Structure 1
């Protein structure tokens, strides 16, 4: 009599007990596989959400507040900046997938301060949720308006009606025309209240060359 015969004979003699044991094992195995699948789905979901959050580490100069936009919108000035070559140093660090430089400043329109942010195309990698009507700024003097800013100019400016038009603002006491090449769809964040331009445009207008 081999082992299989002994097991089969035991199952036939104890049908109910054997059936309950098999059912219990099946339920336990199903629950285990379900938990594993749930764990994997949770981890994948968390990773996707983290990637959508954008920058995971923000490097700022000593003495510069993290929320620089809040300072600008209240009429303040960003107190400190980093040299532009810091970006290259950060990009060379292990495990850094992308690094995007930002130049923060402000322009005035109707005697109110509005955030002006110089960026590069690397910003799109960090803010994958951005949807731009039109295109990303590429040339000097081109800008993308946040949704709130676009509505404000459409309501209060005679020269701006949509993408392709220009807005005239004051930067550093100088009157400057900026061409709107894109409008950012509503994000529900501070991005809606900002104006984005090329890094060089922001550096030149704000007198922050090399910063």
Structure 2
């Protein structure tokens, strides 16, 4: 099968999300100017740069405008990226519900907030790791907003470290596949990089 993205016969969303797998999930918490804490998962998420440390996520704009997450980030210039592990999979899914901007997904999913060290939006209490970010840039890319954030503080739960370093073997990270399908990192293997 050959797909021409311009002919409109195939859903490019389904094609991209079905083939670019697994995708890490950025569980983004923001706070509105009115003080409402927003929490939403984004599987168009990844690391971009080390120096400075930059993460990105990309909300697809809604037909009626920007997502609450995008609005909040543009207004406050801060957000937190919470990592999703298996213990939080159901709660993460619950926070994908569309609520009025006056209601918080934290409350809807019965999640506790934990104060961030540097930024105003809270992190999800109990997560294995979270990146506190200040807005670096927002780019309008077609029907999406590409949000770039500079990491200003990182929280890592002690039980996912070994000798003071992140131990990925202790992280039960959940990745997004397509539709309602997700994946866990439970079949690791190693390869040595060639010289």
Instruction: Calculate the TM-score normalised by the size of structure 2.
Output: 0.32
Bigger strand fraction = 2
Instruction: Calculate the TM-score normalised by the size of structure 1.
Output: 0.30
Higher relative contact order (CA 8 A, sep 6+): 2
Q: Higher Cα Rg: structure 1 or 2?
A: 1
Bigger helix fraction = 1
